[in-house]
Structure 1
């Protein structure tokens, strides 16, 4: 049985949808903290069980009979996140899974100024230490992040962010489909190639696309890291979250997310979704 964790989240839910196009529902199990939110999958024949990375007993039940376990990374940062991932890895191993998959990141780097990258690096180290065959999905940076970064710029006409570098912004839908293909076909042992869109675009390019799609000029202006951080905190963003965003821009300046690889297109059998399409859908919606 293929177990998918985090299946109530945006990426996890999409992975399950794509996986059900490739394998029978009775071969798919979900480990979720709130089973009631996954009732529609249960009605389609998918096994749904309560599982919490902080409760080993619940994972033993949720992972029972697992051949593969997809660990969808926790949406947070810090040592508690790594501990949660380690618990999930240990739970999958205890359940007898022959392969563990993990939604990592193309920019995995223990010394990155963007904190999640060191968490991904520690989790990959835990996978290697587990002794179980594993696949680390080196996912491209979520294209939906650009929608949040644009924010008020769609109204003000000014995208004021720190100096940056190009990023291979990658659609959730493509990453979900790639994960489903990998679960169904098991083509990779260890880290995958970078699973990215077909081009890397900086914030000036994001502003240009937004201008084209909205029909109004959106200027990209550069502010210092300190000014950007202060502006975020002044609008109620927690200091830790503001610092993380500043770290993201610092990492882009170092080129950590600029790599483009053909692996995504090869896996899903079509060109990856361009950032323009992601922004168009978000602006229209």
Structure 2
């Protein structure tokens, strides 16, 4: 049995749907914090059990009988984040899984300027020391993140944000396909993978120009001072810790942490990776162009 955590999230849900195209539902289990959210999967024959990374006792039941466990990294910020992912890895090993997979990031590093990368690096280190075969999927930066900025730009005509750098924006669909390939192909992507990224790295000036081409409008890239941006974000209602967290992404990108591209993703999924323009078209699909 394959057990997938976070099965109702953006990445986990895609992975589960693709696995169901390849495997009988009885061979698939999901671990979710609220089983009611996965009722539709249970109706299709998938084993649904509660599993909460912050309540490790629940994971023993969630991972029971698993041959492989895919730990989708917890969407938790702060000191609990690293411990939560490690708890999930430990529970998978204790449940007897012959292989543990983890959704890491291409910029995982103990000295990153973006907090999640420290968490990924710590989890990778634990995986390597756990004594069980593992795969750390070093995913590219989710291209859907651009949605947070495209919405404002469509209203204001500006990308008014801190200084940034190139990012290898990568689509959830492509990363889901890579995870499924790893889960269903023996020996594929063992250990810490190469960066699983789209083939182009674009900064927000590039994105602004691309958005202009798609809409026929002009979008201006305005660089805002870090402190001024944080103050403005907080004034607009963003909690201060969230603003500082987000600023870390810009600091890391302008240091070049997300600029890496690699052909491994396209090789694994057997097709070209989704282009940023395609992601932008999807983000625009439900938005009126004014």
**What's the TM-score bracket when you normalise by the shorter of the two chains?**
over 0.9
Secondary structure class of the residue paired with 2:75: coil
**Which runs of no fewer than 5 residues in structure 2 stay unpaired?**
none
TM normalised by structure 1 equals 0.97
The residue matched to 2:103 in structure 1 has which SS? strand
1:155 and 1:236 map into 2 onto residues whose CA distance is 18
Alignment-derived partner of residue 64 in structure 1: 64
Match of 2:144 in 1: 144
CA deviation digits over 1:188-224, x for unaligned, max 9? 2211111111111110011111112222111111111
Match of 1:43 in 2: 43
How many Å separate the matches in 2 of 1:247 and 1:29?
35
Q: Give the conservation status (yes or no) of the 8 Å contact 1:27–1:46.
A: yes
Alignment RMSD: 1.2
Q: Which residue of 1 aligns with 2:33?
A: 33
Q: Offset of 1:78 from its aligned partner?
A: 2.4
Partner of 1:114: 114
1:48-127 → structure 2 map (5 Å cutoff): 48-127=48-127
Q: Is the 8 A contact 1:79 1:119 kept in 2?
A: no
Off by >4 Å, runs of 4+ in structure 1: none
Post-superposition CA distance 1:113-146 (Å, at most 9, x none) = 1111101111111112211111000000000111
- Is 2:53–2:74's contact at 8 Å kept on the other side of the alignment? no
- Measured against aligned partners, the alpha-carbon deviations of 1:56-79 in whole angstroms (never above 9, x if no partner) come to 332111111111100011112222
1:138-162 CA-partner distances (Å, limit 9, x unpaired) = 0000001111023321111111112
Structure 1: gaps (5+ residues): none
Task: Name the CA distance, whole Å, in 2 between partners of 1:146 and 1:226.
Answer: 21
Alignment of 1:111-190 (within 5 A): 111-186=111-186, 187-190=188-191
Task: Give SS of 1:21's match.
Answer: helix
Q: Does 1:7 align with 2:19?
A: no
Per-residue deviation at 1:241? 1.1
Q: Distance between the aligned counterparts of 1:53 and 1:160, measured in 2? A: 36
Aligned to 2:22, the other structure's residue is in SS state coil
Counterpart CA distance in 2 for 1:237 and 1:74 is 21
